[in-house]
Amino acid sequence: MASDTKPAEEKPAEQKPEQKPTALGEDDEFEDFPVDDWPEDQTEAAQGSGETKHLWEESWDDDDTTDDFSAQLKEELKKVEAAKRR
């Protein structure tokens, strides 16, 4: 039924195109599937009994102190510390 109404133009021209990856579609809607059923062996769930460790990183803490951000914080700490001693 949506077909015979013109889509409401609620969004003015302030849209930033790079924020809307085309693959995501306009709507929040979860589209219907092209088929109702498929065998499990067509899915990842069947392989390795749902083992998904490789998809996620659980240890990600950052020990690097040579990056710009760390260097800036280090400078600031040094300067504030020096000012306290004065």
Partner 1 sequence: MPLVIQFLSQIRQFVRSQNGDELRAWLQVEPGSPQQYHNLAAELRSQFRQQGLETIIDKSLPQEDDVPEGQATVWPGFVAFMKDYFAFWRDVDYEDLLRAHQLLSGLVNSCATAFAHPTYGAMLLKTSMSLSETLARLTMTLNRRPDLTRRLRSVDEDKTIAESSAEIIQKIFTTCLTDRSSGRYSKPEGKKIGVYMFANLVLKLLFACRRTHLAKLIFVTISTISPPLALYPAAQRVTFLYYLGRFNFSNNHYLRAALCLQEAYLQTPRQLVSHRTNILTYLIPCNILLGRFPSQTLLQRPEAQPLTAIFFPLCQAIRSGNFIQFQQHLATHETWLFEKGLLLTLTHRLRPLLWRALSRKAFILTYVPPTDASSRKAATLDLADLLTVAVYLQRRLEGWLPSNPNALGRPQHVNPLLMKALANNAQDQGTSTLAPPPGGPKALRPNEGMIWGNAEVTPEDVEMMVATLVQQGFMHGFVAHGQGRFAIIGAKAKGSPVLAGWPNVWQTIRDRRYEEDFDPDEVVGWVKE
Taking the C-alpha atoms of residue 76 and residue 54, their distance in angstroms, rounded to an integer, is 39
**Minimum separation from the CB atom of position 41 to partner 1 (A):** 10
13 binds partner 1 (CB under 8 A): no
Among 12, 13, 80, 85, binds partner 1 (CB under 8 A): 80
Encoded one letter per residue, x for contact with partner 1 by CB under 8 A and - for no contact, window 30-69 reads: xxxxxxxxx-x-xxxx----x-x-xxxxxxxxxxxx-xxx
Question: Taking phi first (over 0 means left), then psi (-120 to 50 degrees means alpha), and beta for anything else, what does residue 57 get?
Answer: beta
85 binds partner 1 (CB under 8 A): no
Collapsing DSSP to helix, strand or coil, 12 comes out as coil
